[in-house]
């Protein structure tokens, strides 16, 4: 299989080489840029817009036009198209795991997700929160992705990658759009987008309401099935369907006046179901709620003084998550003692409240010949200020036993007590035009944490314009992942006890990349990478159960290839292929759960008047298990999706689109976490089968 996949690349290169003379006229290039969006510039890599081919990182850009063309409705649909990035899913309501270059963990804190440059991270787990419920794409203008370390600019958790979601402004919308969508799984969405001038103000607003029952794929056996087999009980809901329904509200406001910009947003999920069950035991009655509120005020003066471009920003992020869970179903027993049977099921009701305040200042200085220097400083306060928990169980050793009723254990008896941390940081970056066609970008950032101390992270990038259409890069960087509050401070849970003496995880990466545009119609990118992770944080067995520890290291190597070919002004072919091999150096075995091979192909065809069709193929292969997991490798899969679009929703006009995802109803599985106790879902997590989506938009 691997050899067959690898043969695809030279075949594609040979076809492309045969067409090198097919240069497109300038007017066609401009027309194609309007159709597919401007991918030529990126700002996430240095903080200022620059050509992506010369950016000091391996990066990707996805435009709003790309999102529309492939019929994507959720962020996860879009990110699966990025080379070297595979979207897996966890037991926590199928929350996404953004697996970049073979680095995959249940909470996925190794990837920093930003919205307009502001982190969406939770202090509790370092992820985007335990109650996610998707992220709609209707208000996204573009997505910029760094594959590789980004801590020299962005600090904590910019570890294996950085994803920056840039929302639409008044200029992107230019008027009012209303839209509606009907999809499989009883999914309905309706939204309103508006962008205009209001006196001196540029105003953009977005409101979306949605609901879904979620896909109902069958799980044949779960963790409770194993308990039933061991103890002769009959409590499991398996075989049974995954539970993935939720109601959603998304809203945002963007107001700009001269050098000032104010943004605010709401992301709320209610009646959120538990997917395969938080404990990998089906939970059809459990429900989750989350509310995220963000606000930021930015001031930028590009000419504050001669050679100075200055920005100031303050932001606020509020996160509340509430859960009512049946971890194991009624009739559960863990030790065979009838007196220890959970008549109503093993119930846990955790709730968390967080607030984050951030302030930053940065400036570009261009007064030195051949240098562009950026300096920045900031502070952050992360406050997990309130927790509540009620439950009907306690641990006797590692065995859960029932309490007489559901008891409020908020305070010393809860899974965690309130904690707060402050962070202060300072960074400097220099883009130095060393010689003609050579640029050396160097940067270093120091972060000082109130709870575990300080960390320093540098990066270097040498970019060479080898020819007018060839650019080569040599990159090296260091990044860190801060211990989360649950890893530091968890209590009253012997299977996940915190350790206040943890150090941050670190990663060192070396990369080489080349970009080649042999004609206006052809573009090739390729890169190779090597990384080493150290002080990996895992919950490890000890005399008291499982405690968070810095343990072991992981080494990864790989390569990524991208190509696009504008056959003519109506047909574009594009795709990418990624290979990686990551080794757990403690076990000397594959790190597990991440694809060795990921192939993505896409064709976009314009025909008739205002008609466009898109076909995409996604192939994922070579997912070994973690060391100690006796199951065979996760099955390979390939899916095909098609989208047909007509029109553009401008004033007085409709546009329509129809998509079929997983056209051939392929079986798609994502790896379930293994447990030596046998309490897990042995057949992995089933993803949605074939689904259809019909969308209509109207420009007012």
- pLDDT digits over 151-167, tens only? 999 999 999 999 999 99
Give the pLDDT confidence score for residue 608 in this predicted structure: 86
d(CA 243, CA 276): 7
* 598 within 8 A of 619, measured Cβ to Cβ: yes
Instruction: Take residue 447 and report the two structure tokens written for it.
Output: 């972060």
Give the pLDDT confidence score for residue 7 in this predicted structure: 45
Helix (H, G, I), strand (E, B) or coil at 220: coil
Phi, psi torsion values for 235, nearest 5 degrees: -100, -20
Over residues 487-516, the mean pLDDT reads: 96
Give the pLDDT confidence score for residue 32 in this predicted structure: 53
Neighbours of 10 (CB within 10 A): 9
d(CA 308, CA 441): 19
* 90 within 8 A of 125, measured Cβ to Cβ: no
Residues in the chain: 700
Over residues 364-368, the mean pLDDT reads: 97
Res 20 pLDDT > 90: no
Domain assignments of the chain as residue spans, ordered by start = 2-699
Question: What is the tens place of the pLDDT at every residue in 201-213?
Answer: 999 999 999 999 9
Query: Please, what is the end-to-end C-alpha distance for the chain in angstroms?
Result: 51
Give the pLDDT confidence score for residue 47 in this predicted structure: 95
Res 23 pLDDT > 70: no
* 560 within 8 A of 147, measured Cβ to Cβ: yes
Among the CATH numbers 3.90.1720.10, 3.40.50.720, 1.10.760.10, 2.40.170.20, which is that of 2-699?
2.40.170.20
Q: How far is CA 371 from CA 35, 206, 366, 430, 647, in A?
A: 35, 40, 6, 7, 46
Res 13 pLDDT > 80: no
Res 60 pLDDT > 80: yes
Give the pLDDT confidence score for residue 652 in this predicted structure: 82
Query: 198-201: long-range contacts (C-beta < 8 A, 24 or more apart)?
Result: 200/257, 200/258, 201/255, 201/256, 201/257
* % pLDDT > 90, the chain: 92
Q: How far is CA 294 from CA 165, 319, 351, 645, in A?
A: 14, 9, 19, 33
Over residues 441-460, the mean pLDDT reads: 97
DSSP string, 321-359: EEEEEEEE-TTB-SSS-GGG-BTT-EEEEEEEEEEEEEE
Closest CA to 169 of 202, 136, 138, 191: 202
Over residues 239-261, the mean pLDDT reads: 98
Instruction: Take residue 25 and report the two structure tokens written for it.
Output: 């006229």
* 166 within 8 A of 118, measured Cβ to Cβ: no
Res 609 pLDDT > 90: no
Residues 6+ away with beta carbon under 8 Å from 324:
286, 287, 288, 349
Over residues 296-324, the mean pLDDT reads: 97
What's the pTM value of the predicted model, to 2 decimals? Answer: 0.94
Q: How far is CA 170 from CA 9, 261, 296, in A?
A: 41, 12, 17
Over residues 449-461, the mean pLDDT reads: 97
Instruction: Take residue 390 and report the two structure tokens written for it.
Output: 């009620």
Closest CA to 116 of 86, 139, 95, 136: 139
Question: What is the tens place of the pLDDT at every residue in 469-484?
Answer: 999 999 999 999 999 9
Q: For the chain, percent helix, then strand, then coil, each to nearest 5?
A: 10, 55, 35
Vertex 647: Cα angle to 644 and 649 (nearest 5):
120
Query: 509 pairs with which residues across the strands?
Result: 477, 531
Pairing of strands 161-167, 111-115: parallel
Give the pLDDT confidence score for residue 3 in this predicted structure: 43
Helix (H, G, I), strand (E, B) or coil at 602: strand
d(CA 483, CA 239): 37
* 512 within 8 A of 527, measured Cβ to Cβ: yes
- Cα dihedral 669, 670, 675, 677, rounded to 10, equals -30
Question: What is the tens place of the pLDDT at every residue in 658-684?
Answer: 999 999 999 999 999 999 999 999 999
* Cis-peptide, bond into residue 239, ω within 30° of zero: yes
* 214 within 8 A of 243, measured Cβ to Cβ: yes
- Classify residue 95 by its DSSP letter: -
- Classify residue 484 by its DSSP letter: P
Burial class from Cβ neighbours inside 10 Å (0-12, 13-18, 19+) for residue 510 reads middle
* 526 within 8 A of 560, measured Cβ to Cβ: yes
Instruction: Take residue 109 and report the two structure tokens written for it.
Output: 């804190």
d(CA 364, CA 637): 47
Res 281 pLDDT > 60: yes
What radius of gyration do the chain's Cα atoms show?
25
Residues 6+ away with beta carbon under 8 Å from 613:
604, 605, 607, 642, 643, 644, 645
d(CA 698, CA 700): 6
Give the pLDDT confidence score for residue 8 in this predicted structure: 39
């Amino acid at each position: 299989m691997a050899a067959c996949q690898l043969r695809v690349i030279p075949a594609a290169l040979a076809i492309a080489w045969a067409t090198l003379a097919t240069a497109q006229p300038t007017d066609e290039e401009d027309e194609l840029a309007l159709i597919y969006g401007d991918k030529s510039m990126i700002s996430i890599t240095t903080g200022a817009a620059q050509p992506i081919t010369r950016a000091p990182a391996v990066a990707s850009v996805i435009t709003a036009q790309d999102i529309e063309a492939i019929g994507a409705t959720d962020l996860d649909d879009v990110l699966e198209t990025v080379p070297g990035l595979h979207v897996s899913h966890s037991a926590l309501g199928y929350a996404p795991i953004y697996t970049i270059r073979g680095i995959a963990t249940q909470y996925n804190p190794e990837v920093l997700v930003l919205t307009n440059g502001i982190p969406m991270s939770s202090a509790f787990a370092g992820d985007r929160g335990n109650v996610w419920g998707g992220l709609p794409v209707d208000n996204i203008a573009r997505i910029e992705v760094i594959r590789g370390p980004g801590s020299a600019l962005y600090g904590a958790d910019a570890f294996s990658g950085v994803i920056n979601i840039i929302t639409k402004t008044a200029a992107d919308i230019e008027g009012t759009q209303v839209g509606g969508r009907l999809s499989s799984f009883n999914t309905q969405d309706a939204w309103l987008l508006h962008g205009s001038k209001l006196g001196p103000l540029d105003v953009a607003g977005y409101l979306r309401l949605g609901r879904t029952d979620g896909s109902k794929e069958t799980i044949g056996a779960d963790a409770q099935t194993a308990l039933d087999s061991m103890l002769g009980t009959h409590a499991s809901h398996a075989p049974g369907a995954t539970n993935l329904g939720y109601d959603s509200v998304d809203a945002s406001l963007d107001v700009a006046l001269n050098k000032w910009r104010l943004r605010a947003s709401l992301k709320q999920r209610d009646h959120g179901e538990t997917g395969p069950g938080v404990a990998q035991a089906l939970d059809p009655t459990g429900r989750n709620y989350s509310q995220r509120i963000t606000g930021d005020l930015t001031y930028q003066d590009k000419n504050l003084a001669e050679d100075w471009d200055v920005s100031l920003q303050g932001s606020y992020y509020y996160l509340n998550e509430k859960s009512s869970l049946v971890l194991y179903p009624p009739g559960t027993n863990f030790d065979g003692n009838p007196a220890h049977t959970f008549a109503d099921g093993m119930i846990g009701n955790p709730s968390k409240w967080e607030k984050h305040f951030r302030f930053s200042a940065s400036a570009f200085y261009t007064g030195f010949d051949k240098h562009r220097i950026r300096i920045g400083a900031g502070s952050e306060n992360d406050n997990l200020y309130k927790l509540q928990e009620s439950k009907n169980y306690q641990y006797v050793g590692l065995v859960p036993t029932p309490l007489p009723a559901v008891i409020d254990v908020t305070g010393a008896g809860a899974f965690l007590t309130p904690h707060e941390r402050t962070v202060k940081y300072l960074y400097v970056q220099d883009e130095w035009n060393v010689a003609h066609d050579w640029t050396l970008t160097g940067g270093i950032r120091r972060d000082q944490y109130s709870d575990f101390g300080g960390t320093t992270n540098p990066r270097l990038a040498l970019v060479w314009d080898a020819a007018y259409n060839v650019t080569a890069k040599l990159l090296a960087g260091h990044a860190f992942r801060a211990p989360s509050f649950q890893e530091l401070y968890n209590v009253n849970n012997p299977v996940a006890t915190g350790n206040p003496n943890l150090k941050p995880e670190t990663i060192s990466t070396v990369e080489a990349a080349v970009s080649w545009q042999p004609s206006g119609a052809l573009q090739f990118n390729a890169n190779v990478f090597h990384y080493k992770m150290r002080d990996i944080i895992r919950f490890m067995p000890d005399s008291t159960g499982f405690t968070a520890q810095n343990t072991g290291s992981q080494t990864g190597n790989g390569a990524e290839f991208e190509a696009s070919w504008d056959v003519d002004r109506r047909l574009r072919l594009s795709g990418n292929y990624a290979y990686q091999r990551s080794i757990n150096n403690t076990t000397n075995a594959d790190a597990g759960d991440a694809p060795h091979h990921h192939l993505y192909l896409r064709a976009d065809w314009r025909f008739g008047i205002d008609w466009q069709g898109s076909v995409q193929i996604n192939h994922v292969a070579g997912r070994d298990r973690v060391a100690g997991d006796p199951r065979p490798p996760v099955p390979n899969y390939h899916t095909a999706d098609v989208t047909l679009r007509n029109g553009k929703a401008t004033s007085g006009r409709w546009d329509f689109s129809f998509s079929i995802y997983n056209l051939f109803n392929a079986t798609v599985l994502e790896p379930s976490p293994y447990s030596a106790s046998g309490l897990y879902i042995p057949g992995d997590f089933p993803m949605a089968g074939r689904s259809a989506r019909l969308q209509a938009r109207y420009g007012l």
